[in-house]
Structure 1
């Protein structure tokens, strides 16, 4: 049974919203009436949304995109920090420093940069919803994904810290930590790795992007008034805590 929300009159920004989980989130927000702006380094058209070319690690890109959003709508009610980069599946010793720096840059620093610029807009309105996309890797630390695990753990800690800084406002900050979801990001790891992930899941399957999006939309809604600084896993029962 589909669960629907009414986001009419709300402005939402979804980073990394052209593909995978971000695309599902942007699509469901738009269907629920939100004015959705997708920020992506490689944007792809998506019906019912507006796309801007944004590298979330570059302050100038974020500033220019946010200026356009404010000029058009005058507000930002929802921010979904979804832009991410998984990197290769290999031991930490085999990583080139430039590779793990990119992983930390896109996932963690990108979340910092976007939030740092959008948060004052929400604080001025004394309301807003921020959903940061972490990962099961950030809760448990997954071998051969050390840099990604570290970046995801940083997002989780950032969510908890920031939520406490804005708890005197109507802004709520939460995190979603998916396990393996059926996206190109995961499929590119190869059939053997994907099979191992499915085998480790109590539900014996990958999650679907629409399942993750449904949780994100709830966290963006007015129903979430007492939840903040929380981490919601979407792991099919795989998370141990």
Structure 2
């Protein structure tokens, strides 16, 4: 990929699953990465130079502190990946509490807002940036019994497309990756009957690997994707086709 070697990235939600695969692929491709997630104290070595930073994305002040620390460590931030996400167990909407609903939006949408608002002035000053938000194929093909998650991811797609129009002329691209069912902890924690139903819909007949999804992020971070503005890149095994 052109324009990858030597770039820098801040990845929120990079501890496990798709985020961890993105961090690994970025690093092996020559990108220097800071990773922010809900790391426990035991997962973080002593000192301020480690590239792993504990952060709850629902806390705007904490997110700003992470961005400041990442800029100190990396010198600047070329690429921002917003991958922190959560959902609810598959259930009828009537059973979803407001607290559960609010938590999904606090993480999936507000957490992304906090990160972008903290990083964007830096990118605007440099007139360059790649912002990549993790949505879901469920934003384009909502599934039953997943109302909060589907709504939050659909809102994220619209949010990204709106922002993309604001900042494209400043050398900053904003795009989404919309993964289909993927071999992650969140997938394995889902209701078995729901998972069986979902896989049966996939033309490819299987769920994706985190490595297959991570390649979409590397593409959007590269100069190869300089003309991708406000798009939803959808590695989903054929669950959603355009």
TM class by shorter chain equals: over 0.9
Q: Secondary structure at the match of 2:234?
A: strand
Which runs of 5 or more residues in structure 2 are unaligned?
45-49
CA shift digits 1:45-83 (9 cap, x unpaired): 7xxx81100111111111111111122222100011100
User: Which residue in the other structure is 1:71 paired with?
Assistant: 72
Give 2:19's match in structure 1, choosing from 19, 22, 39: 22
TM-score (norm 1): 0.93
Query: Residue 159 in 1 paired to residue 160 in 2?
Result: yes
Larger RCO: Structure 1 or Structure 2 (Cα < 8 Å, ≥ 6 residues apart)? 2
Contact 1:6 1:33 in 2 (8 A): no
Match of 1:119 in 2: 120
- Partner SS state of residue 5, structure 2: coil
- In the alignment, the residues of structure 1 paired with residue 192 and residue 96 of structure 2 have an alpha-carbon distance, to the nearest angstrom, of 21
Matched, 1:133 2:134: yes
Match of 1:144 in 2: 145
3-state SS of 1:217 partner? helix
Deviation at 1:240, TM superposition (A): 4.4
Q: Note if 1:206 corresponds to 2:207.
A: yes
Match of 2:38 in 1: 41
Where does residue 91 of structure 2 map in the other structure? 90
Deviation beyond 6 Å, 4+ runs, structure 1 = none
RMSD: 1.7
TM-score normalised to the size of structure 2?
A: 0.93
In structure 2, C-alpha distance between the alignment counterparts of 1:170 and 1:160, rounded to whole Å: 15
Matched residue pairs, number?
A: 236
Displacement of 1:133: 0.6
Q: Deviations over 1:160-210 (max 9, x none)?
A: 000000121111111111111111101111332222221110101001110
Which segment drifts farther, 136-145 or 22-31? 136-145
